[in-house]
Structure 1
Amino acid sequence: MGKVEADKTEVAPAHAAAPGELAVLPGEDPWTDEEVAEARAELLSEVERLEAEITSSEAAVAGLMRDSADGAGDEADTGTKNITREYELALAANTRDTLTQAQHALQRLDQGTYGLCEVCGKPIGKARMQAFPRATLCLDDKQKQERR
């Protein structure tokens, strides 16, 4: 398994939307330069942390694969190693999904679609985006998704 690469551009591209152009709910203040910079920094930090977690998880799985290949140990040891390996693989898959979401949020920030629901196109809400920067759905569509 190779290292996951991510776009680590820390400067907003020339085509990025101005902070005041990002979606907000009626009654919310527009995004400020500082708030956008904070959201970007948080997402970039999350990308770096997740990449490190994936690298660590891949190393753990490689070690478990090596250990299980040596054939040493009894059946209980082998079973424990298999369970641990499956856990590490599931953890790595979940971390990769979260990494993809963080990278997608950065792209949406650059494209000016950050804060717009990907289902209905309505604003998600600035407060929600600040609390959960990877959000892609408004509360109504998120609730509909969870009911399925």
Structure 2
Amino acid sequence: MPKSTLLVRSDEDPWSESELAEVKSELEADLGRLRDELEQTARDLADLLDDGSDGAGNDQADVGSKGLERDAELSLRANQQELLFQTEKALGRLADGSYGQCESCGEAIGKNRLMAFPRATLCIPCKQREERR
């Protein structure tokens, strides 16, 4: 991953090896943490499903509580999977030299934005347009 090939804005210095190492290290740490969290969430969800939430012998409050807990676990799992996907994608973009390039307009995302949110794939103007839709 030659640093000189990574796109930066005109008012920014090129990526340094230490900056890239820091971003990569953060993403790799997140990747490991997210995989662990997904495994734990899968176990928790399996426990909830094995807990006999069909309502037999449970009052309505228990059934409702278990349903809410199951829904929360499913939502958490979906969020974790999305973050895992974004993290893997960011690491792939670092490896192929496209890290820092907006996927919409092709311009530089900006180092400050990427240092704050290393999974960013859109520059600020494109992200704002996407959010208005």
TM-score (norm 1): 0.86
SS in 2 for 1:136: coil
Alpha-carbon shift at residue 73 of structure 1 (Å): 2.2
SS in 2 for 1:91: helix
Choose the corresponding residue for 1:76, options 61, 67, 80: 61
Alignment correspondent of 1:6:
none
Moved over 2 A (4+): 69-73
Q: Is the CA contact (8 Å cut-off) linking 1:23 and 1:126 kept in structure 2? A: no
Choose the corresponding residue for 2:45, options 61, 80, 91: 61
Alignment correspondent of 2:127:
142
**How many Å separate the matches in 1 of 2:49 and 2:20?**
43
**How many Å separate the matches in 2 of 1:105 and 1:35?**
15
TM-score (norm 2): 0.95
1:54-95: per-residue Cα shift (whole Å, max 9, x none)?
Answer: 111111111110112583421110110011001100110011
**AA partner of residue 38 (structure 2):** I
Taking only the aligned residue pairs, the percentage that are identical comes to 45
Deviates more, 1:85-94 or 1:17-26: 17-26
Confirm or deny that 1:34 pairs with 2:18: yes
Q: Is the CA contact (8 Å cut-off) linking 2:41 and 2:73 kept in structure 1? A: yes
**How many Å separate the matches in 2 of 1:127 and 1:134?**
12
How many residues of Structure 1 are paired with residues of Structure 2 in the alignment? 132
More helix by proportion, 1 or 2? 2
**How many Å separate the matches in 2 of 1:69 and 1:18?**
56
